[in-house]
Amino acid sequence: MKSFIEYKEDSHFPIQNLPYGIFSSHENSKKRAGIAIGEFVLDLAQLEKEGLLNSNYFSNSTLNSFMSGGKKEWSNVRSQVQELLMDTNPTLRDNSILREKVFYKQLDVTMHIPANIGDYTDFYSSKNHATNVGAMFRDPENALLPNWLHLPVGYHGRSSSIVVSGTDIHRPNGQTMPLGSDNPVFGPCRLMDFELEMGCFVGTGNNLGEPISIENASEHLFGLVLVNDWSARDIQKWEYVPLGPFLAKNLATSISPWIIPFEALDEFRIENPIQENPTPLPYLQSNDKWTFDMKLEVQIKTEKMENPETICNSNYKYMYWNLAQQLAHHTITGCNMNPGDMFASGTISGEESDSYGSMLELAWKGTMPIQLSNGEKRKFIQDNDEIIMTGYAQGKGYRVGFGEVKGKILSAK
């Protein structure tokens, strides 16, 4: 499959991808839906206006109505857009006036949060990450808590502070308990961290009291984004017993602007990890492949650097609990999901030390500082450090990529 739009073989946005996002342009400040193709954004709202797209979703400022349309409608729209972009289709290829109306350079547009995210849940589903953290703070011989291998552990996050890539984040203030002290102190977080995660958007929801079965998960899951779930580790350490993260996580969660549909990722599905000891309960068992071979990378750019430097190379295949299991578990009580809700994977850590998805692990709780090539060292994120995450799945002669999610930590207010 080839498009008349030219792009390099390592482009994240070939015709095999076609992720959805919400953008505005200098010429038109109205937020509307687009699709990324090569270095361009294809204006879906304008395609509808021109009568070239048989749909009525994309003049909206969010993708929620499209998400609620269901799997058949998602596939139908994708097929229409792919057909319009094919190198054999003259409709856009040979009409320069029409192309001027519907294509924008990505560098010239502003990207926005792609959906009205009503609810956000964060899971804790990487066995390597959970084992590392358990070994640091508890008995290494019993790093995983008794429930971890039986269910996808999660907590409810804060959707109002989810921000799009490029948004700067102020270091949070909060309570921390200094070592050896009997009383907490108030001030800026000193142990600022990132978490490399994947976020999944819910498409069609479910009614209150009606769980989504694991077999039907694909009817409800819309697509994926990259997630940086910023974490204030010292605030978290003091607050998380007995109810878990609160202020340590609600400061901000950054996401990449383009949502990759699952149809674009079907080729990259691989066998799920073996879950035999123990075997999950029946409602969490499925033979469908919900694990993906997707390379993930984290870079840091300090004030003294001209170019960012890679500090983590990981892969989504290291997840233990998969998306369908997370959704089935989330709704087994009858909890109702809505179009545009998002849940995140939890930190994705691989098996090797350079594949750990957080500074907490990479610098091992600050005991093994990361050595950067310019001579600087990092235990945790300092003010004006920028964190950049990217990822892609490698096909034969093309990539299906996420672009990037980036954010800079500014000083506390």
Active site residues: 129
**363: burial class by Cβ within 10 Å (0-12, 13-18, 19+)?**
buried
Report yes or no: 144 and 138 within 8 Å, Cβ to Cβ: no
Host H or E run for residue 40: strand 40-43
Comparing CA positions, the residue from 358, 360, 380, 357 lying closest to residue 295 is 357
Helix (H) or strand (E) holding 96: helix 96-102
SS3 content of the chain, % helix, strand, coil (to 5): 25, 30, 45
Backbone angles phi, psi at 227, to 5 degrees: -130, 135
Which phi-psi region, left, alpha or beta, contains residue 265 (left: φ > 0; alpha: ψ -120 to 50)? alpha
Give 400's DSSP letter.
E
Helix (H, G, I), strand (E, B) or coil at 372: coil
**Quick one: tokens of 338?**
């809505």
Long-range Cβ contact pairs of 371-376 (< 8 A, separation 24 or more):
372/300, 372/302, 372/305, 372/309, 373/309, 374/302, 374/304, 374/305, 376/302, 376/304
Work out whether strand 231-232 and strand 269-270 pair parallel, antiparallel, or are unpaired: unpaired
